[in-house]
Structure 1
Amino acid sequence: MKFKFLVLLFSLGIGNPGNAQNLEKGKEINSTCAGCHGELGQGGSRGEYPRLAGQQVKYLESQLKAFRARTRVNIPMYPYTQERELPDEDIKDVAAYLASIELPTKWPVFKDSDDALTRLTLTERVMIIPRAPGNLANGEAIYQKKCVTCHGKTGMGRGMFPMLVGQYTSYLMRQMEKYIKGERPHDEEAVGGLLNTLKEEDLQDILAYVTSMQERQ
């Protein structure tokens, strides 16, 4: 019901103008992505594929275009993001659709009248990332000083910068390692960057803090 309501709002031009796209078409396009990222954009159970559900629209759009241009190197993604397979308008539609998906972090409370299919459907949407070990106080201090400007106080991201809360910690760690090695561009133009100034234990502490924020959503 909520999805259909969102489709109606966006078709009428109500709501976030950045998401005024064809969500039904985006859902259809996502059927190709679902093979790796899941029907609900929940990603791989071990973080081999990132969660896309609820991610920032502009970030999703920019990364799909980066795969196409090979400024972000990922060979399996390259054929799916070519202009003939995924034109810009399709990128906008699938990004808007994925951003509209909400994955709760708490188990649902069922009514006695809920049938088995309803219970299964609601349960499948739940996504709880396990708490990562680390020093929460140090992780919070570093996050608030170095990460909050782009990723927001609650880790939900903003604009071109991605949501971190609810993302697989193993995936986030791999991406941080790629940034540090220069295998993937971060937000700095010069060689090195913000993450290169941090110790390995600092990176782990940031992940610990990010997973702790999930419980407050």
Structure 2
Amino acid sequence: MSAAVAVKAQNLERGKEINATCAGCHGDLGQGGKRGEYPRISGQRVGYLVTQLQAFRDRTRLNLPMFPYTQERELSEQDIADVSAYLASVELPTEWPKFSPGDDALTRLAAMEKVMIIARAPGDVDNGGRIYREECALCHGEDGRGKRKFPRLVGQYSNYLLKQMEAYRKGERPHDEEGMTGALIPLKTTDLQDILAYLTTLQTGGKP
């Protein structure tokens, strides 16, 4: 039995408390920060969040800012289960907010950053859709919302996704069971950008 299965039932309130530490970078609702420097983790798959937090702790996924927070003394298996369940339960809105005439720019910006919609990425949508359906949909879902331990891609910052795809291609981060690079290795950089363009067409909501 895996450690993730062996822990007690998830405590969402405890997970919310733990997330207060994560919020410094990822936002109070896990909406991400600095326009993609810190990824959006709200609404993400529980299985994915658990495996990535474990990978940070085990140093199989190297990320120096994450390392101090994921050690056993700081984040137990139960803590990982709780905060992962809490973040997965957070549902960001999928429609742009309505503002009052008196709302200032900061208020508007803060509200828009908590919407599960990102800017439309440039690229060849037809080519991106073809590649996505052939190479990505089996694990990440036809709708891009992930399956089991495979992450949700729709609603994630495009610049963050591109950075991770490049890391997979360079072997800096393991991608899947096929090895260190997996299905991404034959693709060109333009293909990756086209995939991102396609993913941004799967979102709900209109323009702000």
Number of aligned positions between the proteins: 194
| CA distance 1:194–1:19, shift in 2 (3 Å) | farther
**Residue 90 (structure 1) aligned with residue 79 (structure 2):** yes
Q: How does 1:15-54 map to 2 (within 5 A)?
A: 20-54=9-43
1:214 equivalent in structure 2: 203
Structure 2 unaligned residues grouped into runs of 5+: 1-6, 101-106
Q: How does 1:1-217 map to 2 (within 5 A)?
A: 20-108=9-97, 125-215=114-204
Shift of 1:189: 4.2
| CA distance 1:136–1:67, shift in 2 (3 Å) | same
Shift of 1:45: 3.3
Would you say the 8 A contact 2:123–2:197 is kept in 1? Answer: yes
Shift of 1:122: 6.8
Alpha-carbon distance in 2 for matches of 1:98, 1:48: 18
- Range that drifts further, 187-196 or 80-89: 187-196
Would you say the 8 A contact 1:44–1:50 is kept in 2? Answer: yes
Alpha-carbon distance in 1 for matches of 2:184, 2:128: 13
Identity among equivalent pairs (%): 64
Whose helix proportion is higher, 1 or 2? 1
CA RMSD of aligned residues (A): 2.5
TM-score, normalisation: structure 1: 0.82
Deviations 1:124-175 (A, max 9, x none): 6323200000000000000001100000010000101000000000000000
Alpha-carbon distance in 1 for matches of 2:178, 2:192: 21
